[in-house]
Amino acid sequence: MRNDERFEIQRAFDLLPHVVGASWTAVWFRMQGIRKPTREEFREKALEYLKMIEPVLNAYPKDEEFTEICKYIEFRKKQEYLKIISGENKEIEVRYDRYVDYG
């Protein structure tokens, strides 16, 4: 698969973890009145919210012409999940810092 064929999926995975995961997480903690969650709690909740969009990530048909993009999506999904939990997703970490500093 050429890079240009997966460009839009790459951009989605660049944005979805913090736009969906961290944003919904910050609101959840705010509504719960939890001003200083641990990093691990924030990461776990961000991952929980990101996983809620898995039906979208699995939306392409299992037809032959979609095989490569479906494999790439599965690869990126696992990669992003690991990055969130391990603290390697810098955007999630920035959102955590911003939340505990400004709640």
Q: What is the pLDDT of residues 15-58, one digit of tens each?
A: 999 999 999 999 999 999 999 999 999 999 999 999 999 999 99
Q: What is the mean pLDDT of the chain?
A: 95
Segment 61-85 shows an average pLDDT of 96
Q: What is the pTM of this model?
A: 0.92
Structure confidence at residue 5 as a pLDDT band (50, 70, 90): confident
Residues of the chain with pLDDT > 90: what percent? 93
Q: What is the pLDDT of residue 4?
A: 78
Between CA 4 and CA 62 the distance in angstroms is: 21
Residue-level pLDDT at 1: 60
Share of the chain above pLDDT 70, in %: 96
